């Protein structure tokens, strides 16, 4: 897979964007999107582990992330607690994409909540280009569920009723 610098978010052809306002501080939002309680809010989550124990939760850190049916390696390029988080995938067990990056920005609001902008940027691999409309549909469906779950997580309604 191709390396994605943080600026890829501004030039990517395929971007799925979520704008959420959640009742939490930017620091709390950062902790969750950086991995806290992932098993609660991210659909089909299976596992994650830091690949370099001495270099985790920082720029340059690498993490293996697995959902049911797919394992990826994430490379962190921005780690600014309470402000921004960015990583790209350097490998996928099924090569759906040639590029894949997630970019999160948090901003405090006057009402005490946090505005979260979450962008998923991706490019089809040559292998999956003919069927990428189908792959994209499932990717986006999972991320739409994740965004809804994330909002509900902070509202305290995820799993309620």
The answer on pLDDT for 159 being more than 70 is no
| Residue 54: per-residue pLDDT | 86
What does the pLDDT look like over 83-134, one tens digit per residue? 999 999 999 998 888 999 999 999 999 999 999 999 999 998 888 877 778 7
Correct CATH for 6-155 of 3.30.530.20, 3.40.50.10070, 3.40.50.720, 3.40.50.300: 3.30.530.20
Interatomic CA distance for residues 137 and 16, integer angstroms? 11
Of 29, 5, 33, 19, nearest in space to 101 by CA? 5
Q: Given a cut of 70, is residue 160 above it in pLDDT?
A: no
Domain ranges of the chain: 6-155
- pTM for this entry: 0.93
CA separation for the pair 161, 76 (Å, rounded): 36
Q: Which residues, 6+ apart, have CB-to-CB distance to 52 below 8 Å?
A: 61, 62
Question: What's the pLDDT tens digit per position in 34-90?
Answer: 999 999 999 999 999 999 988 889 999 999 999 999 999 999 999 999 999 999 999
Q: β-strands 114-124, 84-92: how paired? A: unpaired
């Amino acid at each position: 897979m191709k390396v994605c610098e943080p600026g890829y978010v501004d030039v990517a052809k395929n971007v799925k964007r979520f704008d959420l306002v959640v009742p939490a501080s930017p620091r709390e939002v950062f902790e969750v999107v950086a991995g806290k309680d992932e098993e609660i809010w991210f659909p089909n989550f299976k596992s994650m582990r830091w690949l370099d124990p001495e270099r985790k939760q920082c720029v340059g850190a690498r993490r293996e992330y697995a959902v049911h049916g797919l394992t990826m390696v994430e490379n962190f390029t921005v780690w600014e607690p309470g402000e921004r988080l960015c990583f790209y995938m350097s490998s996928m067990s099924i090569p759906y994409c040639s590029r894949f990056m997630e970019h999160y920005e948090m901003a405090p609001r006057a009402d005490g909540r946090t505005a979260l902008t979450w962008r998923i940027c991706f490019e089809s691999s040559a292998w999956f280009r003919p069927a990428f409309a189908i792959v994209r549909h499932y990717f986006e469906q999972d991320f739409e569920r994740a965004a809804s779950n994330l909002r509900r997580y902070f509202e305290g309604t995820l799993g309620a009723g």
